[in-house]
Every structure is written in C-alpha cells, then in structure tokens.
Structure 1
Amino acid sequence: MTGLPLSMILTTFGVFLPPFYVTLGVSFAAVGAAVGIVRLFDVFIDPVVGMAMDQTRTPIGRYRPWLLCGAPILMFGLYKLFLPDGPVDQTYLITWLLFAYVGNSILTLGVAAWGANVAAAYHERARVYGYTQGMAVIGITVLLLLGLITHGRIQPGKADSMGSIGLIMIIAVPIAVLFTTLFTPERKLSGITKTKFSFADYAVALKRPSMLRLIAADFVLTLGAGATGPIFLYFFHDAKGFSRGVTSTLLVFYIGAGLVGAPFWSWVAQKVSKHRAVQLGCVAYAACQTVLMAIPAKLYMPTALGMFAVGFSASAFIPLVRSMVADISDEVRLDTGKDLSSVLYAMVTTTMKVGLAISVTIIFPILQFVGYDGHEGAVNTPEAIRGLEMCYLFAPIILVFLGGATLFGYGLDAKRHGEIRAQLEAREVAAAEESLVGPIGSPAAAE
C-alpha cells in the first residue's frame, strides 16, 4: 500500500518537480546541480538507514517503527518543496530536497526489505514485487489523470497545480503507512546471528559477483530509462507537438502498461529465470523506444501505443531486480548467519537514486547549452529542439542495452535459490527445536 504514494512522489520528483523549479526562476544548470548535490549526500543516507534497520528489534517488529518515523519527515519536505511561501533559489531546493529524500529513503527501504521478509520463495517474490509494481502503477495513474478527474483544475506539469499535487501526496503518505503497519505481517527469522552491523557488511555483500552484477545493472537501467523523465514534458510538447495536458495523459499509457507488464515479466521469469527476463525486457525496450521516436508528430493514438510498448518493456526492470536482491539476501544469510536484507536493498536504492540524479544533472545542462528554453509558453529554435530529441533517444537505448549485458554470468537462478531456501528452512527448524528443548546436555534437555 505504501508503494502507492511513493510511486506518485518518485514520478513527480523525476518528471514534474525539476521543470517546476525552472518555471520558478531557477536555471537548468542550477536545478541539475541541486539534484546532483542532494543525491551525493543521499548516497550515504541509505547505507546508514539500512544498517540501523537491520539492527532494529522492537515489540511491533523491525520495519513498522521506521515507516512511522519516516512518514512525517517526508510529509514536511513535500510541503516545503511544493508549497514554497516566497522566492526560491538553488539553496532552498537543495535544503528541502535533502529533507524529503531522508523521509523517502526510510519508507522506500522499509517497504522493500519488508517485502523480502514476507515472501520467501523464489517465484513468490517475483509475484509480490510484481503486485507492488501494480500498486505503484495505480498511484501514478491517479496522479496523471488528475486533469481529467478535476476537469482541468489540477493539471500535472502546470506550475499553478503543483501545490495541490503536493497536498494530495502529503495526505496519501500517512494513510498508506497506517494501512501497511496495521495489516502487513512480519515473519520472525530464526538462526540469525546477533551481531553489530557496520560498513564492513557492505564489503561482504560486494564480494559476491551476483550482487556486483545486480548493482551495476540496476544503476545503468535506472540511468537509461530515467533519462527520459526530466525531459518528458519538454519532448512531447515541443518535439511531438502535444499540449501539456495531453502530454500528461500520454504518460498514463507508459505507467499503466506496468499493470500488464509486471505480471507478464514475472511469468517470463518463471520460464527463463529472472535475469534472463530482465535481459529480454532490455531488448524490447530498445526496440520500442526506437519505434516511438519514429512516429510522426501530433499522432495521438500511435504515440500512446508506442508509450504503452515502452512502459510494458520497462516494467521488467524494478520488480525483478528487487526480487533478485531478496534472493541474494538469502544467500548471504545462509553463508554468514546475518540478515542483511536492508543493507542490500540500500545498495540498489542508492544506485537507483544516483542514476536518476545523474540523468537530471547531465541532461539539464545540455539543454541549457543547446539553447533550450523550458519556461511555459517559450518558443524554441529547431536546433534546440533537435538537441532535445537527441537526449531523449540515444542515451536510454545505449544504457539499457548495457544494463542487460551486465547480467551475463549471473548465477543465482531458481534451482540454486531452491537449494539455499531448503538449507535455510532446515536451519530454522533446527533453531526452533533447540529453543524448545534446549541443546543436548543442557538443563532444559535433561528436564
């Protein structure tokens, strides 16, 4: 349930917030630098939160306290970002982005690690993260259809609607967190070593070739698919000739494709393994992105179908990669006796954030360099629009192909994970029996 507002926030931060601050008077270069600076700090936030989360033991569970703590932090950051009460500059954007990202990191890590705890089996995890992606799609679709729902009074992408969008997300966060904490079960793990965690635990995970490949794939896939987000409104408005209102509805097709795509790729993963399914998604993404670029301007339905195809392909990436992290956490737990699931998820959430930040940090200065004007109502030269088109086409295709290539040699498939789960379950049964009868020779056993 928490994935619903988190997906709205992720989309708004990636697609609508950077252009909003350009409209408020902050330059392309300044917005790009602000996002990059905040993400640089954010790289250190996730590891610290992940280690603290893995050490948490409370009467209400490991993850509930973190969600309840992160929600108000995120809400206040959203308020300052979307409802500024005066002039804004780069410093203002950096300050409140950092505040919001702290709360967002806590909730994102908590939800991801909790999902790994709830689902234990290889294919079950693919389904669970597929359902989570489905909730994310619902949240984003509601956001993008606000223009239709409110008869144009709240329009994503318009500066005067951003305050209302911020309030909607502020209200949605506590409702979703409360629902999750009240109704989501948490499995208690047996046979876990009670030791302190440190940054050395990251080295333990990074020594595994499977985790290194997954981190590299997640980073490049995020950078590739995410490169289109910050310039989405600009591209479809100026290069494809659609109004801003129509442009937002096109994004619905991209996001909505995940409702069909996520279960489909989960099914493919059951047939060919998760990493092969991701690679197939990479090939499909590149082909569909190329076709989308070739569609003539102002043709709504062909463009909408192209967006659906691209979104369908991209929906393989996040849920399957998150599911693969959960599999690696089982492998680490078998070998070390430590549950490092939050630490491992901190790695991939960090790579995702860095990838999204780099896309803004690099592309926005390029737009400024080619002379593109991002203010509402601005008229751009053909050369500036051509530069915009090149940014939208080549970077995503090249990077997504590279992301798929990093998964060659990945060895943690369904067969290997089944062996790991069998050994873990045997260990947990033995630990449970020992806690009841005591070890051989102990007073509890003698009784």
Structure 2
Amino acid sequence: MTQARAASYGAPLSLPAILAFACTSIPISALILAVAVHLPRYFASHLGMSLVVVGGAFALVRAIDIPLDPMLGLVMDRTRSRFGRYRLWTVIGAPVVMGALYMLISAGPGTGQLYLIGWLLVMYLGLSILLLSHLAWAATLAPTYNQRSRIFGVLTAVGVTGATMVLLIPVIAASQGYTDAQGVQAMVWFIIAAAPITVAVAVWRTPERITQDHETRFRLRDYWALLTRPNILRILAADLFVTLGPGWMAALYLFFFKDSRGFTTTQANLLLMIYILAGFVGAPLAAWLANRFSKHRALMINTTIYSVVLVTLILLPKGQFLAAAPVMFILGAMAAGFTVMIRALTADIGDEIRLESGREWMGLLYAMTNATTKVAGAASIFLTFNVLAAVNYNAAEGATNSAATIRGLELAYMIGPVVFVMLGGACFFGYKLNAKRHAEIRTELEARDALYDEAPVLEGLTGEPGGVSR
C-alpha cells in the first residue's frame, strides 16, 4: 500500500460517505424492532398460538442460533476476496433475511410450531450475517477512538430512521382502517424491499481495507483464551444486561401501555416512535459524552439515567399522552447510547487483541456480542411471556384481565429492566482501556503493519475510494 493511499484511508470519512455506508442500518434496525415488539404478539394474537408456544419458539430458535454466531465471525475474519472481507458477507445476508420474512408472513392460522421455528431460524441467521458484517466493516472504517464514537453514532441514528419508518407503517395502516395484523405484514414488506436497496448503496460507495494477519494459525485454545480476557467478559456481560433490560420492556410494551396505562394501539405506537426518534439525540449525545468523559463512563451515565426515569412511568396519569411523551423520549435517548457505546467499546477491544495476537478478531468479537444480544432477546421473550402466563394474563384480542393480573404486569415491566440495565453499567468499574491507552495501541498497530505488505484498499464499484475525505 502506498503512503498516499494509507494516509487517505486514515483520514476520517466524510459525512456523506458515512451515511451511504450506514443506510444498511435501516432494514437491520427495522427488523430488530419488529422482532422485539410486533412479531411475537402477531403470532400470539393473529395466528392464535399460545403465549407459552410463542415464547418457547423464540427461545428455542435463539438457543440454536446463538452458537452459529462465533462460527460466522470466524469465517468472516478469515475471508479474503477481491470483493472484500466483511463487504462480501453483507451482500450474502440480505437475500437470506428477505426469503425468511416472506415465508413467515405467508403463514396463516393453524400454522404449526415447527414451521415457525424453522423460518425464524433462517431469519435470525440472515440477520446475524447482515449485522455482524456491517459492524465489523464499520470498525475497520474508523480506526481511532473518537472516530469510532462518531461513526457508530451515525449508524445508530440512521438505524433510528429505519425503526421510525417501520413503526409509522402500522399507525398509517390503522388510520386507513386496516387491522393490526395487516399493519405488521406491511412492516415486513417494507423490510424486504429496503434490504437489497440499502445494501447496494453501501457496497457501491464504501471501500474496505483488509488488514494483514501477522499470525495466520487459529487454534481452538485461542478462542477459549479470548473468552477468559477481562475486557471480553466485561463487554459480553454489559451487552447482555443493557440488551436484556430494554428487550424485557419491548416484549411487554404493548401489553403494558394498553392494559395498564390505558393507551390505544395507535397511541402506544406513537409513544414508541418518540422512544425510537430520541435516538437522533441520544446517539450523538453518547458520542459527545464518550469523547468528553470516555466511553465506559458514558455508558454508566446512560444506564443510571435510564433506570431512574423508567420508574416514573408508573406514576404518570393513565392515558395522558403528553405526560408520557417526554419520559419515553429520555428513555429512548439513553437506550440509543447503550448501542453506540457497546459497539464502539467492542471495536477498541478488538484493536487491543489484534495487537497482542497478531490477527483480526473483529468479526468474532461482534459475533460474541451479537450472541449475548440474542441470549437477551430470547430470555426477554421467554421469561416475560412465562411471567404473564404465571399471573394469568390473557393476551387474546378483546380479553379482559383482573386488577391483580395488571399489577403483576406492571411489576414485571418495571423491576426487570432497572435491575439489568444497572448491572450493565456496573460491569465497567475499573476499566482501563481509555482514549490514551487506545491511542498507544493504534500507534503500535500502525507501526507493525507498516513492516508488512498490506492488502490494498478495495475500491467502490465506481472506482473511487468510497468517499474518503481528502
């Protein structure tokens, strides 16, 4: 690689270039939202499946799918092609997601659990490929401490756009007289249409630099050694907890806001939209906090504010949209910060490990955090749906629940998220990988890489270096 090309790559990406790359976050975030909030309820209410069956199906699929993520990460890290390392896998993931979603919304009443499990498994596999490759690719585009806060902040903000767009669909559908089930189906069709378009834009406009692996051997004990590293354990535990808290809320969201707080489906979706839109403020705020106080402290600030504000929801008057809106905005802003910081911290830890091991681990690291995210997602649906069943909650359309059952719903909605989110922030007490230490790591990596013949930057399909700032 020439010095000029190296310097070009090292410069920060322009905002248009980052936005072109980040647009793939639109279908990813839209699908994550749909899976967390709408699809489980769709299967339980529209298809007539029991809560236990739906919760068990999602938990089983995640249990099967989770071990696949580390294998995917390893394969991605070892991929070398003229089309790229992570860029190639981003292209592969889109059609897998599209096909699985089509099969899921093609199901009708009476669909068996095996059908649901099978296509959920394919859907999660495609989502893993798309998400892991996109995150690992992003980490290679932003090599410095502050650049990473910026690029992951933009990715999160663009993801907010996707989540907001998909959330508007059932609101618009309801205003036009369509049923809740038809609104969910329209959400899925939006994701199917957005995936190939956004992936094509990202691939067309964004380069990828494949770093040279100075240690090419991979041994099983290297993987297990990775799992024993304190910083790896910190990031995995933190990701589990800060995902489980909001995931727990998401699984109970419509039940809580309709039956406990007295909101209509449309009002609940609008409040959720405010929660999602708050990411436009929360993502850059988290990046600012990270660059001012360090990333791990920014995460701890976010988890504390989130937990304190959450408990005020139960104190608000029922059915008062204007009273609930600012609370949901603050919660959404803080939750967006969780995503930005976990992803940026993972990239920093990846540099630390590459310096010590001599090979790229970024794909595997994001696979590991994605696995903990899946554990949290599976646990949130499985645990919350079983809690609802234990308090005799009836999820059927038009059903009436007793005051005691609603109280159980309220306690479940509040206690779980507060405990888990605070544990997530506590994971970073004593964390040492700050901006100064990361700068030292990057200096050593660049000095070592200069001694090797690195792979060239892979150009965008236009022949230009993907909008790199000059």
Tell me the TM-score normalized by structure 1: 0.93
Is 2:309 the partner of 1:312? no
C-alpha separation between the residues in 2 aligned to 1:421 and 1:78?
Answer: 41
C-alpha separation between the residues in 2 aligned to 1:68 and 1:147?
Answer: 29
Is 2:84 the partner of 1:34? no
C-alpha separation between the residues in 1 aligned to 2:383 and 2:108?
Answer: 29
Letter in 2 for 1:240: R
Is 2:286 the partner of 1:265? yes
SS of alignment partner, residue 338 of structure 1: coil
C-alpha separation between the residues in 1 aligned to 2:233 and 2:84?
Answer: 30
**Offset at residue 384 of structure 1 (A):** 1.4
**Offset at residue 152 of structure 1 (A):** 2.2
Is 2:261 the partner of 1:240? yes
Deviates more, 1:216-225 or 1:79-88: 79-88
Which of 281, 284, 301 pairs up with 2:302?
281
Which of 378, 385, 398 pairs up with 2:399?
378
CA distance 1:201–1:184, shift in 2 (3 Å): farther
Letter in 2 for 1:267: W
For 1:403, the equivalent position in structure 2 comes to 424
Runs of 4+ in 1 over 3 A off after TM superposition: 147-151, 196-201
Alignment of 1:172-251 (within 5 A): 172-190=194-212, 192-193=213-214, 195-197=216-218, 199-251=220-272
Which of 371, 379, 382 pairs up with 1:358?
379
**Offset at residue 154 of structure 1 (A):** 8.1
Contact preservation (8 Å) 2:286, 2:340? no
For 1:298, the equivalent position in structure 2 comes to 319
C-alpha separation between the residues in 2 aligned to 1:148 and 1:12?
Answer: 14
For 1:341, the equivalent position in structure 2 comes to 362
Alignment of 1:98-137 (within 5 A): 98-137=121-160
Letter in 2 for 1:184: T
For 2:188, the equivalent position in structure 1 comes to 166
SS of alignment partner, residue 429 of structure 2: coil
SS of alignment partner, residue 37 of structure 2: helix
- CA displacement 1:170-189 (0-9 Å, x = unmatched): 11111111111111111232
**Offset at residue 163 of structure 1 (A):** 2.0
**Offset at residue 147 of structure 1 (A):** 4.3
C-alpha separation between the residues in 2 aligned to 1:403 and 1:60?
Answer: 37
CA distance 1:297–1:199, shift in 2 (3 Å): farther
For 2:116, the equivalent position in structure 1 comes to 93
Contact preservation (8 Å) 2:170, 2:186? no
**Offset at residue 238 of structure 1 (A):** 0.6
CA distance 1:151–1:229, shift in 2 (3 Å): closer
Q: What is the identity percentage for the equivalent residue pairs of Structure 1 and Structure 2?
A: 40
C-alpha separation between the residues in 1 aligned to 2:94 and 2:221?
Answer: 29
For 1:438, the equivalent position in structure 2 comes to none
C-alpha separation between the residues in 2 aligned to 1:257 and 1:83?
Answer: 33
SS of alignment partner, residue 409 of structure 1: coil
**Offset at residue 65 of structure 1 (A):** 2.0
For 1:4, the equivalent position in structure 2 comes to 26
Letter in 2 for 1:401: M
SS of alignment partner, residue 431 of structure 1: coil
SS of alignment partner, residue 81 of structure 1: helix
**Offset at residue 378 of structure 1 (A):** 1.6
Is 2:91 the partner of 1:64? no
- CA displacement 1:372-398 (0-9 Å, x = unmatched): 111222211111111111111010001
- CA displacement 1:134-163 (0-9 Å, x = unmatched): 0110001111122455572487x9113222
C-alpha separation between the residues in 1 aligned to 2:369 and 2:57?
Answer: 22
Contact preservation (8 Å) 2:52, 2:389? yes
For 1:14, the equivalent position in structure 2 comes to 36
CA distance 1:148–1:32, shift in 2 (3 Å): closer
**Offset at residue 19 of structure 1 (A):** 0.6
CA distance 1:268–1:34, shift in 2 (3 Å): same
Letter in 2 for 1:68: V
- CA displacement 1:187-235 (0-9 Å, x = unmatched): 2324x22624454343232232111111111101111121010111111
C-alpha separation between the residues in 2 aligned to 1:365 and 1:181?
Answer: 42
Q: Which runs of 5+ in 1 are unaligned?
A: 436-447
For 1:75, the equivalent position in structure 2 comes to 98
Q: Which runs of 5+ in 2 are unaligned?
A: 1-22, 457-470
Contact preservation (8 Å) 2:170, 2:180? no
Deviates more, 1:367-376 or 1:418-427: 367-376
For 2:412, the equivalent position in structure 1 comes to 391
Tell me the TM-score normalized by structure 2: 0.89
CA distance 1:76–1:196, shift in 2 (3 Å): farther
